[in-house]
A and B are shown apart, each in its own frame.
Chain A
Amino acid sequence: MNQTMEKFINFKQLDVVLTGSATTPTGVTLTDTAATFTQHVLPNAIVWDRTTGASTGGQKYLVSVVSSDTVLGLTPIGPVADQGTGVPDGVGYFIYMPEYTKVQYGTTSATLVNFLVDSAVNFILAGVKPGDYVKDLTGGSVALITSVSKNQLGVSEDIFVSGDEYLIYKEGADNFDKIIRSANVADVSNSAVTSSIVNITYDTSGTDVGKIDYAYSSTTGANSDMRGAIQDAIVSSLQTEWTDVTYDFPGLPNAYNSGSNSTWLGGKEYFILRIS
C-alpha cells in the first residue's frame, strides 16, 4: 500500500497579462509595433525577456512609463551583471501586473457630467466595483469609480467626454493559485547561476525538478532568502493534518535598500512569475 502523503504548497503566481514579440527598441524600452500596451499595461508592471541571458533566468524589467501603445519605458532589475538594456528585436516578452489588475477597456459613447458612459459594455457583468480606478487614456487623468450601473459609472472627477478611451483597473496583483508538491522532496536549492530561481528536486538523481521563477530585484546577487522561505513552507505543510492538502505560501518580504533595491518592488513581497 502506498503511504505517501499528498501535500502541496499553494503559491500566488502572477498571470501573464500580455505576451508578444519585440521589435527594435530605442533605449531601455520594450517596443512592439503590433502592440496596444495602453489597453493592458500600467506602470510597475514586470516585463520578462526569457530569451536573453536565459542561462541566468532571462532579463527582467519594471515598467517605468507606458509611453504609447507600442513603447514601454523600462527599468532593469536584478543583479547588475544580469541586467538587460531593452528587449531586443525578435525576442518574445511576457508582461505581469503586480500592483493592479485590469478589469475593462473601452471607448465612451456619450458625455455626461461626472459619469463614464459606454453603451457597449455591461459594467456589472464586467465586475467593476466602486473603489476601482479608471484612467482616461485620451486625456491621461485618473478617477475613482463611485457608483456602478449597467452602462454608466459614477466617477470622482469629471474627465470623460464621448469618444475617450478608458482603462478600468483595481488594486491588487493579477494572480492565481498554483500548487507544487511539498512531499517527497529531496532538495531545495537556489539555481547555481541566478538568485531568481529556486529548484525543488524530488529524486536523488536530480532529474525530477520543480522550478520557481520569481522577480528578484536587488542589484546584489547570491540571495538565498527564497530558498529558506520555501523550505520553511515545506516543513509547515508537512506538519498539517492530511486533510489540509495545500498550504498557502505566506509570502516573503523583498527588503527595500536605497542603494541596491530601490525600485517599486523593494519593500513589497516577492512576486512569483512561473512555476514549471
Chain B
Amino acid sequence: MEKFLNIPVLDADGTNSQNQLVSISGLTKIGQATTTTVVLHYLGGKKTTLTWPNPAASPKLLLSVQSAVQNALTKGWTNVSENYSPSGSTEAAGVFTNPLSAIAIA
C-alpha cells in the first residue's frame, strides 16, 4: 500500500510554498531530533528529515507528524495522499504561512 503525506514546504528560492509528497510506507520509527527537525526512518535505512522554521520543544513536532501518519494509514488504499498542515503553520486560500523550511531525503 502506497501512502504519502502532502506537506507544504518553501520553494528553492525561499519565498513561496509548494506541496511535496513524503512517503509514509515502510516507516520503522519517527523521531524529533532537534527542536526544529523530525526524522522519518524507513526500512533499509533511508531517512527523510522535515525542518520547521520555528522551534518547538520535543515531542510536540514528533506527535504532530506521528498523528498524521497514523490517520493516513487507517484510511482505505485509495486515499493515497493525506494533506498535512505542519504544526505552527497557517493556511488561507491555499497559501501557507510558516510552511516547512526544508524536506531532505538521505
Interface residues of chain A, those whose CB is within 8 Å of chain B, are: 2-6, 8, 15-16, 176-181, 184, 202-203, 207-208, 210, 243-246, 275-276
Contacts and interface: CB of A to CB of B under 8 A. Distances in A.
Given A2-B2, A4-B26, A203 B43 contact: yes
Contact of A184 (B2, B3, B43): B43
Interface stretch (B4-12, B13-21, B58-66, B90-98): B58-66
Interface size class of B (residues with CB under 8 A): 20 to 34
Nearest to A202: B43
Contacts of B44: 203, 208
Nearest to B30: A179
**Which residue, of B2, B24, B62, has the highest number of chain A Cβ atoms within 10 A?**
B62
Nearest to B44: A208
A181 B27 contact: yes
B66 A179 contact: yes
B105 interface: no
Interface of B: 1-3, 24-31, 43-45, 58-59, 62-63, 66, 69-70, 73-74
Contact of A245 (B2, B26, B70): B70
A177 B63 contact: yes
A276 B31 contact: yes
B25 A6 contact: yes
A2 B28 contact: no
Contacts of A3: 1
Given A4-B26, A179-B29, A208-B45, 16 more contacts: A2-B25, A6-B26, A6-B73, A8-B70, A16-B58, A178-B66, A179-B66, A179-B69, A181-B27, A184-B43, A202-B43, A208-B28, A243-B74, A245-B70, A245-B73, A275-B29
B70 A246 contact: yes
Contact of A2 (B1, B27, B59): B1
Given A16-B58, A176-B59, A243-B74, A181 B29 contact: yes
A146 B58 CA distance: 31
Nearest to B3: A6
Given A15-B59, A184-B43, A210-B29, A179 B1 contact: no
A42 to B, nearest CB: 20
B31 A210 contact: no
Nearest first, the 8 closest Cβ-Cβ pairs linking A and B are: A181-B28, A245-B73, A176-B59, A180-B29, A6-B73, A243-B74, A245-B74, A245-B70
Contacts of B70: 8, 179, 245-246
**Which residue, of A6, A203, A208, A276, has the highest number of chain B Cβ atoms within 10 A?**
A6
